[in-house]
A and B are shown apart, each in its own frame.
Chain A
Amino acid sequence: MPRRKRYEALVRDYYHDIYRYACWLTRHKPLAEDLTQETFMRAWRAFDSLQSQDSAKAWLFTILRRENARLYEKQRPELDDIDEHEMALPDAGHLEPDQQMEAHMLHKAIMSLEPEYRDPLALQVIGGFSGEEIGVLLELNNNTVMTRLFRARNQLRALLDGKESKDE
């Protein structure tokens, strides 16, 4: 398949997940959109270095993380000026009223998680990556990843249930 067609297939297959992950990484939708564009521009420029389509998703997430570190991490104050409206949960009208309330609480709880817990969780749920793959992306060993995933869920459940997490 020609290079351009393969690139277009890559965009269509992954841009939703890349954008979603960028949202959780930056917690700011306009920045997430910029970051998604930057990621795909880098991907296009380096397209020949993509070994196989099987590794494309992890390759894109790696580019995204690097671009975020390069462009925004140093310039963005962490946690102290997050615009809640920017990352407000979109319309959850398809959920039952009880579930809507739980969804909003969970959304708030995820926003308040430390990045070291939020990142692996987002990679697992949005990207569908295994613990080992997350370890490669975050440069952590598998045990650390699994521990963080466990603690992230524990903290979220505790927050949802209105309790303090035992891990804190």
Chain B
Amino acid sequence: MSEMNDNDFEQLLETVLKAPASPAGLEQKLLAIPALVAAADLQAVPASNDSFWRRALPVAACLGLFLLLAQWFQPQSEGELQAEILAHVYAEERFLASEGHVSLQDVNSRMQERLGARLESSPDTEAMNVVFAKDCFLAKKLSVHMIVDGDTGPVSLMMIPARVVARETTISDARFSGTITPVAGGTLVVLGNPQEPVGKYFDLINDHVRWEY
């Protein structure tokens, strides 16, 4: 290959380094962050004995925000949600093989910040080997994604702080199988190998999660 002059080289370097194009919709997701964070923060406001207006204000703000978000976003179908969840698991596939250990305290600090929820300490939750925990956007909500060591392989547990399905639905493809279930404070997704008894993890989380209203 002929040797390039400095200008040509710099131009080519700039072309290549600046080549990755932002994915469609990323700008909208970033612009929506203030509204999503406000919604998550409002959900975490504890009940108090303050005046009616002080208590009503977050509710009114929530309502306003809800109406605003309802205008902004079209509702997502179950099929789209399932596709989004599977795509998310594949995008973070490399973390399925994580060998680290995330303590319950670290999981709770993330859950409290993002969801206004925590997992109660018990022999069962303490025995759960969480190898990965991270917040992510699911169904346009700030959510938490954990990966735990299951009986037959890694199990993804996702907590979405809103009811994004009306009833329990199954989710599966050739590699993963699980459920999306509306629970008291939001939606719980459990996904593992087809042989994995995912109901066990659903029960474990659902029995120990405490939402702060």
Taken residue by residue from 67 to 110, chain B's Cβ proximity to chain A (1 for < 8 Å, 0 otherwise) reads as 00000000000000000000000011011001010000000000
On whether the beta carbons of B31 and A92 are closer than 8 Å, the reply is no
Partner of A37 from the list B4, B20, B132, B137 (CB cut-off 8 Å) is: B137
Partner of A160 from the list B1, B14, B33, B135 (CB cut-off 8 Å) is: B1
On whether the beta carbons of A75 and B98 are closer than 8 Å, the reply is yes
Partner of B18 from the list A11, A44, A75, A126 (CB cut-off 8 Å) is: A126
On whether the beta carbons of B100 and A23 are closer than 8 Å, the reply is no
**Bound state CA distance, A24 and B16, in angstroms?**
11
**Bound state CA distance, A84 and B213, in angstroms?**
45
Known: A45-B37, A75-B100. A15 touches B30 (CB 8 A): yes
How many residues of A are counted as interface, with CB atoms below 8 angstroms from the partner's CB atoms?
Answer: 53
Contacts of A37 in B (CB 8 A): 26, 29-30, 33, 137
In B1-52, the 8 Å CB interface with A consists of: 1, 3-4, 9, 12-23, 26-27, 29-31, 33-34, 37
Partner of B20 from the list A29, A153, A157 (CB cut-off 8 Å) is: A29
Q: Closest approach, in angstroms, between the C-beta of B177 and any C-beta of chain A? A: 22
Query: Does A103 belong to the interface (CB within 8 Å)?
Result: yes
Contacts of A121 in B (CB 8 A): 13, 17
Contacts of B208 in A (CB 8 A): none
The count of A-to-B residue pairs whose CB atoms sit within 8 angstroms is 112
Partner of B17 from the list A20, A76, A99, A162 (CB cut-off 8 Å) is: A20
Interface SS of A by simple majority = helix
How many residues of B are counted as interface, with CB atoms below 8 angstroms from the partner's CB atoms?
Answer: 36
On whether the beta carbons of B94 and A40 are closer than 8 Å, the reply is no
- CB-nearest residue of chain B relative to A102? B12
Q: Closest approach, in angstroms, between the C-beta of B92 and any C-beta of chain A? A: 7
**Bound state CA distance, A158 and B132, in angstroms?**
40
Q: Closest approach, in angstroms, between the C-beta of A152 and any C-beta of chain B? A: 10
Taken residue by residue from 16 to 48, chain A's Cβ proximity to chain B (1 for < 8 Å, 0 otherwise) reads as 100110011000011111101110110011000
On whether the beta carbons of A11 and B27 are closer than 8 Å, the reply is yes
On whether the beta carbons of A36 and B30 are closer than 8 Å, the reply is yes
- CB-nearest residue of chain B relative to A23? B20
Q: Closest approach, in angstroms, between the C-beta of B20 and any C-beta of chain A? A: 4
Q: Closest approach, in angstroms, between the C-beta of A35 and any C-beta of chain B? A: 11
On whether the beta carbons of B18 and A76 are closer than 8 Å, the reply is no
Known: A37-B137, A44-B33, A75-B98. A161 touches B1 (CB 8 A): yes
Interface centre among B95, B100, B142 (most CB of A within 10 A): B95
Contacts of B3 in A (CB 8 A): 157, 161
Q: Closest approach, in angstroms, between the C-beta of A70 and any C-beta of chain B? A: 10
- CB-nearest residue of chain A relative to B14? A125
Which 5 pairs show the lowest CB-CB distances between chains A and B? A30-B91, A23-B20, A125-B17, A19-B22, A11-B30
Sample (27) of A-B pairs whose CB atoms are under 8 Å apart: A4-B34, A7-B33, A11-B27, A11-B31, A19-B23, A19-B26, A24-B17, A29-B23, A30-B91, A37-B29, A37-B137, A45-B37, A75-B95, A75-B100, A75-B132, A76-B94, A90-B19, A90-B21, A99-B12, A102-B12, A103-B12, A103-B19, A105-B1, A106-B16, A122-B17, A125-B17, A156-B13
**B residues whose Cβ falls under 8 Å from a Cβ of A:** 1, 3-4, 9, 12-23, 26-27, 29-31, 33-34, 37, 91-92, 94-95, 98, 100, 132, 134-137, 142
